[in-house]
Amino acid sequence: MSMPALEPASPGTTPARQRGLRRVVSAFRDAHGVSKAVVWVGAAITAAFILLAIFAPVIAPYDFDTYRTADGVRFEKQEAPSAQHPFGTNVMQTDVLSRVIFGSRTAIEVVALALVVSLAIGLPLGLLSGYHGGPLDRGLVLVMDALIAFPSLLFAIVIAFLLSDTFGRGVVTAALAISIVYIPQYFRVVRNHVISVREEPFVEAARAIGAPPRTVIRRYVFQNVVQNVPVIATLNAADAILTLAALGFLGYGIQPTQAAEWGYDIKRAISDAGAGIWWTGLYPGLAIVLLVTGLTLLGEGLNDVLNPVIRRRKTEPVRFPPRPGNEGTP
């Protein structure tokens, strides 16, 4: 049995008894009220945007590049919010609300793709590198460290630029550029975690009974490491949205004819600020803030719940019953 809050726990490693993501669920149930609320709020916001992204064509009143009605009447340029255009129109004569909704589709698509790619590359590389060590590991670490040291935005810009010559300026290019920026981060986190797990007694025990490296990695190391991935992935996704918006703002993101993108819209809106036109920039920006906040809350909440070092268990106030009056009573 354990005394709550007295046992120092080694951060993040548990015996294979509580497999991978199942531990996430049990830790969640134990957690302090505030952390749980944070996770729910974050999850709700994120889910809302995902729904928006999936059902964009149905929800949005117009397409992202529609500049006239069905009868061929062009929209007003930079028209203030009205019944027809609840968020107004922008300088391109397109409906801001629709662009915001389709923007979420772009954001979710790009970030999801980038996530998959960086995980697909960073995770196995980190696992192998951390577990086997040796010259492969040393080389990879040197390269990855150098990449991490590089300012991520500059890096993304240059990659996006270079890729756009070959692949054009679409969702794929943006996703690839962003994923390259995050691969070293996944690599480093996974590798460090693998190294600490590798030294744990239960892994040594598995090796001692003759388990081949593949089994050891799969059964023990991977399960442990995978617990950290949800938190990092979520927080990286939040960051990726900001990077995508930044790319769009600078003009290296997605071609405006291919999809709507929030950052690009704000770029066009900056000059509007001088004229007092607020709706072209306010709403896309709010969308970014909301989605990133939602993802961050989700990630931070999960971290609070899962990380044993800063996790707080629920405590109830103690009430002492009156003492047993006589000797010899139960």
Partner 1 sequence: MAGRSHSLRRYLFTRIALAIPMLLILLTLVFLLMRVAPGDPISAALGGRLPQAELDRRRAEAGYDQPLIQQYLEYLGDVATFDFGTTIVDNRAVTDVIVQNGAATLELTLAAMVIAMVTGLTIGALSGRFRDTSIDVGGRLFGIVIYAAPVFYLGFLAQLVFGKWLGWLPTSGRASPVVTFELETKTNLFLVDAAITGNGEAFVDVLEHLVMPATVLGLVIGGVFIRLVRVNLIQTLKGDYVEAARARGVTERNVVMRHAFKNALVPVVTVVGLQFALLLSGAVLTEQTFNWPGIGSELVRYLDNRDYIAVQGIITFAGLVVVFVSLLIDVVNAWIDPRVRF
Partner 2 sequence: MTSAAEPALSVRDLRVWYGTPGAPVRAVDGVSFDIAAGETLGLVGESGCGKSTLGRSIMGLLPEGAAADGDIRYGGRNVVGLTERDLRAIRGADVGMIFQEPMTRLDPLMTIEDHFAETLKTHEPGLSKAERRRRSLDALGGMGIPPTRFGQYPHEFSGGMRQRIMIALALVLRPRVVIADEPTTALDVLVEAQILTILTDLRRNYDTALLLITHNLGIVAEACDRVAVMYAGEIVEDGPAEQVFRAPAHPYTRELLASIISLRTQALRAIPGAPPDLRDPPSGCRFHPRCPDAMRVCPAMSPAPVWVETGSTVRCWLHGPAELIPPGGTEPLERRRPEVADEA
Residue 221 and residue 184: Cα distance in Å, rounded?
Answer: 20
State how far the alpha carbon of 35 is from the alpha carbons of 236, 274, 311, in Å: 20, 42, 9
Contacts to partner 2 from residues 293-312, by CB under 8 A: 312
Residue 212 and residue 110: Cα distance in Å, rounded?
Answer: 38
State how far the alpha carbon of 156 is from the alpha carbons of 114, 185, 202, in Å: 12, 14, 41
The interface region with partner 2, picked from 155-163, 210-218, 241-249, 319-327 by CB under 8 A, is: 319-327
Is residue 99 near partner 1 by the rule CB under 8 A? no
State how far the alpha carbon of 326 is from the alpha carbons of 58, 88, 319, 329, in Å: 75, 80, 21, 6
Is residue 330 near partner 2 by the rule CB under 8 A? yes
Q: Indicate which of partner 2, partner 1, none lies near residue 300 (CB less than 5 to 8 Å, by partner kind).
A: partner 1
Least distance from C-beta 266 to partner 1, angstroms?
6
Which of 59, 58, 66 has its CA nearest to residue 89?
66
- Residue carrying the six token digits 């598995």: 206
In three-state secondary structure terms, 31 is strand
Is residue 22 near partner 2 by the rule CB under 8 A? no
Contact string 255-294 vs partner 2 (x = CB under 8 A)? ----------------------------------------
Is residue 314 near partner 2 by the rule CB under 8 A? yes
Which of 171, 63, 71 has its CA nearest to residue 117?
171
Is residue 150 near partner 1 by the rule CB under 8 A? yes
Q: Which of 3, 83, 208, 309 binds partner 2 (CB under 8 A)?
A: 3
What b/e sequence results for 32-54 when a residue is b if at least 16 CB atoms lie within 10 Å of its CB, and e otherwise? eeebbebbeebbebbeebeebbe
Tokens describing residue 142: 């040197």
Least distance from C-beta 4 to partner 1, angstroms?
13
Least distance from C-beta 235 to partner 1, angstroms?
10
Q: Which residues bind partner 1 (CB under 8 A)?
A: 32, 34, 142-143, 145-147, 149-154, 157-158, 161-162, 165, 238, 242, 245-246, 249-251, 263, 266-267, 269-270, 273-276, 278, 281-282, 285, 288-293, 296-297, 300, 309-310, 312
Q: Which residues bind partner 2 (CB under 8 A)?
A: 1-6, 312-318, 320, 323-324, 327-330
